[in-house]
Amino acid sequence: MATSEAQKRANRKWADKNREICRRISSKSTTKRFVREMATPEEWKELIKIYRDAHNQ
């Protein structure tokens, strides 16, 4: 089902008003894809260390 022009305009308007939220959503999606599909074991270790350091403060 195609998206109507009115819906496209509404989506664009929302995105323009909520740039920081859009940036966060995009970053989260990119991170999840990297972790699931591309991260090597060494990168996993680094990510776990970053997570632990951030949450043990």
Q: What is the pLDDT of residues 12-27, one digit of tens each?
A: 999 999 999 999 999 9
Task: Output DSSP code: residue 10.
Answer: H
Q: Please give the Cα distance from 11 to 21 (Å, whole number).
A: 13
Give per-residue pLDDT as tens, 24-49: 999 999 999 999 999 999 999 999 99
Are the C-beta atoms of 39 and 47 separated by less than 8 Å? Answer: yes
Q: What is the model's pTM?
A: 0.70
* Domain layout of the chain by residue ranges: 5-56
CA 26, 4, 2 angle in degrees (round to 5)?
80
Q: What is the CA radius of gyration of the chain?
A: 17
Sign of dihedral through CA atoms 8, 10, 11, 16? Answer: positive
